[in-house]
Structure 1
Amino acid sequence: MKFVGRRGHWWVPPCAAFFCLLGSTIFWRWHTISKDHQINEEIRAREVRLVGAEGEQIGIVSFREAMQMAVDANLDLVNVAPTAKPPVCRIMDYGKFRYEQQKKEKENRKNQKVVELKEVRFSATIDEHDYQTKLRNVVKFINDQDKVKCSIRFRGREIMHASVGQKVLERVAAEVQDIAVQERRPKLEGRSMIMILAPNKTT
Structure 2
Amino acid sequence: MKRRSIIVIQKQLINSQIKSPQVFLIDHENNNRGLIDTNEALQLAQSVQLDLVVVSEGKDAPVAKILNYGKLQYQKKKRQGHSARPTVKEVRLRPNVGMADYNLRIEQAIEWLNKGDSVKFVIRLRGRENQYREQAGEMLDRIVAALSQVGKVQSLDKRSLIAQVVPA
TM-score by length of 2: 0.58
- From 16, 19, 25, the equivalent of 1:41 is 16
Higher relative contact order (CA 8 A, sep 6+): 2
Cα offsets for 1:76-105 (capped at 9, x unmatched): 4321113x323423352x4x3543773697
1:193 corresponds in structure 2 to: 161
Q: How does 1:121-136 map to 2 (within 5 A)?
A: 121-122=94-95, 130=97, 132-136=99-103
1:15 corresponds in structure 2 to: none
Q: How does 1:72-87 map to 2 (within 5 A)?
A: 74-75=46-47, 76-82=51-57, 84-87=58-61
- How many angstroms apart in 1 are the aligned matches of 2:43 and 2:86? 44
- How many angstroms apart in 1 are the aligned matches of 2:90 and 2:63? 46
Q: How does 1:88-107 map to 2 (within 5 A)?
A: 88-90=62-64, 92=66, 94=67, 96=68, 98-99=70-71, 102=74
TM-score by length of 1: 0.50
CA RMSD in angstroms comes to 4.2
- From 100, 120, 128, the equivalent of 2:93 is 120
Q: How does 1:132-143 map to 2 (within 5 A)?
A: 132-143=99-110
The structure in which a higher percent of residues are strand is: 1
Tell me the SS of whatever aligns to 1:153: coil
Tell me the SS of whatever aligns to 1:185: strand
- From 39, 43, 54, the equivalent of 1:71 is 43
2:56–2:64 CA contact under 8 A, matched in 1? no
Distance change in 2, residues 1:180/1:138 (3 Å):
farther
The unaligned stretches of length 5 or more in structure 2 are 1-9
- How many angstroms apart in 1 are the aligned matches of 2:44 and 2:127? 80
- From 151, 156, 160, the equivalent of 2:123 is 151
The structure in which a higher percent of residues are helix is: 2
Cα offsets for 1:112-132 (capped at 9, x unmatched): 98653221122xxx5xxx463
Q: CA deviation at 1:38?
A: 0.7
The unaligned stretches of length 5 or more in structure 1 are 1-34
Cα offsets for 1:144-182 (capped at 9, x unmatched): 4272423143757x58x9656433321331133234432
Give the counterpart letter for 2:18 in structure 1: I
- How many angstroms apart in 1 are the aligned matches of 2:98 and 2:139? 9
Tell me the SS of whatever aligns to 1:38: coil
Larger radius of gyration: 1
Task: Say how many residue pairs are matched.
Answer: 147
2:56–2:63 CA contact under 8 A, matched in 1? yes
Distance change in 2, residues 1:117/1:164 (3 Å):
closer
